[in-house]
Each structure stands twice: as structure tokens, then as C-alpha cells.
Amino acid sequence: MTVLNILTFPDPRLRKVAAPVIKFDKSLKKLTEDMLETMYQGNGIGLAATQVNVHKRVIVIDVSDDRTDPKIFINPEFEIKDNKSLFSFSEGCLSIPGYNEEITRPDKILLKWQDVNGKFHEEEPEGILTVCIQHEIDHLEGKLMVDYISSLKRERIRSKLRK
């Protein structure tokens, strides 16, 4: 397994929209293994392929306390089950190191995805997984946590992180 380089805001490559996975082959499995390694190494609870400059609809997540429950979601999509049920959480992002922002998102979603073999699944996620899934799917759309905050705050973070 290989630890991959993580792109940092405001890198324009974080704004690319990822393409659906159509080939469920060995190179997809290798990508997910390298992404898990990269996520664990960075002490993250999730990682989107976009963050490692691979513009495919692949995310990995582990929200377990002991970091022993890797989850892989290919071509993930969600629908909001209840527009009025919202949840606020202080989010971090491996692509925006050193910053946390309180973000409010829908709390009741139905997630649909494929596994590394191409098999379809659906489930209503619980707890922090609900937040993390939405954060990661945002990455696949080229969207970042800082897009939810004021432009003043965003520009301040941009100038601090730009070397």
C-alpha cells in the first residue's frame, strides 16, 4: 500500500467534478487500499479520491473509535429523507489543515452506492457517518467545507494556506 499526496485548498484540482466508476477492476481495489492507508496515516475519518488527485467517484470512511472498520463507497449518491431534520457538527478536512467549521446538514438520508465488485447497496446511515458521507460526496462535486462559510472567512483561510 502507498500513502498518497493530499491536495490542499485552494488547489484548483479540488474543484474538479469526479467521473463515475465503470470498471470494477484490480486498479480500483488498489486505489481504495491506497486511499485507506492515506486516510489512516492522516488520522482522517474519510477521504475522497478527488483529494488525492484521482477524479473518480470513490470514497473511503472509517468512523470507528479503534479505526478498524474501513468502508468503501463507489459511485455514492444520497437522497434527503426529511428536509426539516438537520444536524450541526464541527467538521475538519484533510485538504484544509488546521481549520474546523460548524456545518449544518440534513440528518436523515438514504445512501446508495456500489462496492468494489460493482454490487449495489442502499442504507440509511447513522450518526457521524451521515455527516462524513455528505462531506465526501461534496468533494466528488468539487465542493469544500469552506463553501458553506462566509466569503470573508474563506478568503482569510485561503491566504493563510496559500504558500
Which residues form the interface with ligand GNR (CB under 6 A)? 44-48, 51, 89, 91-95, 131-132, 135-136, 139
The CB-of-26 to Ni ion minimum distance in angstroms stands at 27
The CB-of-132 to ligand GNR minimum distance in angstroms stands at 5
In the complex with Ni ion, which residue's Cβ is closer, 63 or 93? Answer: 93
Contact 86, 122 (CB under 8 A): no
The CB-of-3 to ligand GNR minimum distance in angstroms stands at 15
Degrees, nearest 5: CA angle 134-78-55: 65
Give the HSE-up count for residue 124: Cα atoms under 13 Å, Cβ half-sphere: 7
Please pick, from the candidates 45, 72, 93, 109, the single residue that binds Ni ion as defined by CB under 5 A. 93
3-state SS class at 12: helix
Of the residues 101, 122, 136, 155, only one is catalytic, namely: 136
**Could you tell me the three cell numbers for 60?**
473511503
Q: Label residue 134 exposed, middle or buried (CB < 10 Å: 0-12, 13-18, 19+).
A: buried
How many Cβ atoms are within 10 Å of 42's Cβ, its own excluded?
A: 14
Nearest residue to Ni ion, by Cβ distance, number only:
93
In the complex with ligand GNR, which residue's Cβ is closer, 20 or 97? Answer: 97
Question: If contact means CB under 5 to 8 A according to the sort of partner, which of Ni ion, ligand GNR, none does residue 146 touch?
Answer: none
Q: Taking the mean position of all CA atoms in its chain, how far away is CA 127?
A: 16
Active site residue 37: no
- Residues in contact with Ni ion, total (CB under 5 A)? 1
| Active-site annotation, residues | 136
